[in-house]
Chains A and B, each alone.
Chain A
Amino acid sequence: MADAGKGHACGVRRRGRDDEIKLVGFLCNWCSYAGADMAGTSRLAQPAALRIVRVPCSGRVDPLLVMKAFQEGADGVLVSGCHPGDCHYNEGNYYARRRLELLKRMLPYYGVEPERFHYTWVSASEGGRWAEVVAEFTAAVEPLGKLHYAGGAPAAAAGEEDGDG
């Protein structure tokens, strides 16, 4: 792994092999992130393509963020939150579901196969289920191969508009 980290933060080289898919998973802190922890504690082997980004609530996941991930080279994006009715913030996952449903329907217009996006529920106690989700999602995206995103930036890419900068 001698050259593993040479790519600078603003650099060009890609970590890992070029032909491997990369997936991003947005996980809510209270249920799914804990579920993934449980899968780890139980040593449940999983495909390695997924990278987890922790968010407080699946309701924090902006569709623009998902599009941004595709734009940055994600071959698939997974969002996982608490089960309906179990949301730590009561209703955050309902909002998430509504928005992300819409997003899923829009994806083909950006040239992204809908299979590359998945929204699911995993609770803190469902380590086994989490491992299955990862395996299934990876298996679903793998045959599609790498995404060559051509959709352009969806209107006003979220980052540039940030309030705290």
Chain B
Amino acid sequence: MSKYAYFPGCSLASSSMEYDTSFRLVAREFGIELQELDDWNCCGASPAPHHWVEVLGVLLAARNLHIAGAGEAPLVAPCAGCYNRLKHAQYKLERNQELRRQTSEVLGEEVRYQTEVLNIVKMLNREIKPGALAERARERLAGVRLAPYYGCLLVRPAEVIGYDDPRDPKKMEPLLRATGAEVPHFALKSECCGSYMGLARKEIVLRASHRIIEAAVAAGIDALVTACPLCQQNLDLRQGQINRAFGTSFRLPVLYFSQAIGLALGASPEELGIDSLAVEPDVDRWLKGAA
């Protein structure tokens, strides 16, 4: 049985709990043990590296890496934002001795930062063979058009992340296909959704996310699938705001990657927190369509 240290991050612990529950469920189904990181702290998310100094971002993330470093298991961070911060910190610590020294000073011991950090896509691709998923999914989602939406933080910058193509990411696709769903090409799959500007500069998020939703609807996509709580909230939670701002009436569900896989495994929408999505998909119709 594979074992992972689990870094949920602030979003999964609050506003995106459905991501957390669905991820835990999928892990359980495939016999993957998740051990929540003890006393983890906020990874600094997006504003940290922009405030005062970038050092803070590294220090915040480093504390988590250090805790994870005490164990053997690799660290999985389903939130693309957290994942990105953790990888960044690793990248900088690896290359900057002075920073490593400072970090160790704060932590009171030599910082352990080399634990392998995975995002959910990489981890599930490692643990689940598409064939195995397909066998269990039995075409449950057949006829549903699910398009992956990767956003930015999951794949960029390439030299830090080192997984998938930053301009044309594709790694969600094999598992999504294994659910039985149709996975059409989605042109804007790695366009930016407007990031964390939702509060301070809402118009940015609305414009950027509107473009993405509009293109998805135009392409006849039934739901977008994402691995980032920030993207998810911009596209889903703010869809009403988008509709109001642009005079549209989109109702495009935006699922978490783990929710899509969970549905294919036959888990109930409630178990997967589907009802926590602002735009709820008509799961019954999806499943019926397949049957």
Classify A-B as touching or not with yes or no (CB < 8 A).
no
Q: Contact residues of B with A, CB < 8 Å?
A: none
Q: Contact residues of A with B, CB < 8 Å?
A: none
